[in-house]
A and B are shown apart, each in its own frame.
Chain A
Amino acid sequence: MSGIFQRMSMIFRAKADKALDRAEDPRETLDYSYQRQLELLQKVRRGVADVATSRKRVELQANGLNTQIDKLNAQAKKALEVGREDLAREALTRKSGLQQQLGDLQTQHAQLQGEEEKLVRASQRLQAKVDAFRTRKETIKATYSAAEAQTRINEAFTGIGEEMGDVGLAIQRAEDKTAEMQARAGAVDELIASGVLEDQTGQSKDDITLELERLASTSDVETELAAMKAALSGGSASTPAIEGQGTASQPAADQGAQPTAAPTEAPGQQVNGQTQAAQPNTRENR
């Protein structure tokens, strides 16, 4: 029955036989084979660690993308509040690009997780079989003559050989997948580093943020101007916004026009649009 699967079984058996053929004293090769099994176990465990590392990296990247998406969302909202639909549209367009990336990352993450679980199970199976092999190996060495040992060894070898072949394939697959993920993860890192995601000007802020801040500082200045005018005409100096401004209304008004240009001069120092706009005034007026 099942021609394909029988052929596959034959491949695995042929490989185990080949390993046996190299043996001169069958009992010595028991120890040699056991060594190789231990090496393979090490390899599986390293494989598990590699896949876990890749998975964590994907998780970090997804978190990064999520932060960016939230930020763009907030920007779009802010832009709409100040009546700049074009800016809001730009932010949402970028957001949808990032959401695609995030979807890809989530698929990759699920794949890596599946791969990791499989390898962990494979490692447990191999560990159990290696232990069983060791027990059988000691029994064979203690009890049987070389001729008898040969048959027993054949049995032990084919059983463990198949498991080793399977685990070997599993590691290979995991390695291939991990390498592929890492290449893709590298591409996302590059995207962030090249500023497509984070900023386009080499500054710590992207252009949407800068534009929003410029708008915010303009409107702050207007608000403050209005407040000062009200204070001058009203005569009350008790509110903090107009503190000590009785003699400085003209210079303050002149200063007020400058912060709109300031972001291009010293953007690195800005914390946000509001403090940036408010500071020059209060400093000048003290």
Chain B
Amino acid sequence: MSGDRGMGETGAARDRVGVDVRQVSLPADHPLAKLSLGAAAVGAVALVAAWALGGPRFYSSYLTAYLFFLTLALGGLVFVLLQFVTRAGWSVAVRRLAEHAMGTLPLFLVLFVPVLLGLGKLYSWAAPLAEAAEAGGEHGALTGSKAFWLQPGFFVARAAVYLVLWSALGWWLRRESIGQDRRPDPGVTRKLQIASAPGLVIFGVTVTLASFDWVMSLDPHWYSTIFGVYVFSGAVVGILALVVLLAVALERRRGPLAGIVTPEHYHDLGKLLFGFVVFWAYIGFSQFMLIWYGNLPEETVWYRHRFEDGWYPVSVAVAVGCFVVPFFFLLGRDVKRHRLTLSAAAIWLLVFHYVDIYWLVMPSALVAGPTPGFSPHWLDLLTLVAVGGLFAGALGRLMVGSALIPVADPRLAESLSFENM
């Protein structure tokens, strides 16, 4: 992320294809806008259908889909925070897309309700005591500090705090940024820069704890200190892929972002994508190797659940799909500069980010149930469509409401003209 300017920029003026920055927005009748409206309708119907028709399996499928899209929204939040704290110039042209993604965070407050309703079915520690002792895993009911931390009341209160903090932060950042469109004022940028640092502190703490609460506690006797970082790294990969796809969708075929988003932006997004794919693999491997090496049964149980009962191929798929293939694919320079190849990589990574979340949630959620093995279910797809449709609908609505780039950001000029090495 460039602190001052791109390394290879020129001082000369270079005219972009006659684009009036004031007109850079998504009209309500644009195909993408209409698509998102349709997606929202489909999503709502799917959600009702899944709830009504799905049995106990509904909750774990729903949690997976919920977490997948939530990590995208959270990724948007951290992306925006990072761009402000580093005073980046290159990203201004694409930052608004991430701001729209983070603007969907309040939706996840509402969407958390099914998780709350299914608390007892999802989390063994939330079930009534007798059930917990019998079905809550090899070590029986929780005691002491774990029982204190993982009690439904406290859990729900914390969840509310996380979601409210994220929504508030995301909403405020977005509102300030959009406000700057109408009242150009570098003071807004300064304010957001200053706020982004404590914002990141809040983000770090809440995402760590939320990962522990919502994902790690599916296996309540297990713990891993790096878990929050693992979820975070996946979220960053997810948001980068999403921003790429949004940028491509809006830039190609003389879309609203044509002439604004350039191969330079794709290149930078591609480089970051590559970097975080490697970072994700580093975190994932660190966790795996240390637990494998220490060989303590209370730790290895989590991986055992992911290597038995037909889950082993999924584990391999996660490693290969989230790392090996994208690593070699994104290595070359040109691949990152062309929208076709980069968007292919982005789609692939979004798919495998879902597989990663599935692999985090499902084995632990199902292990105590009647079907512990890997068993893809139509509910998995239906809940994905449900949450995804609503997410797309919210995203579309947010994008129609405001400009697609921060038109008055003082660093916009730099973003439009920088060149890569």
Our verdict on whether A and B bind, yes or no, reads no
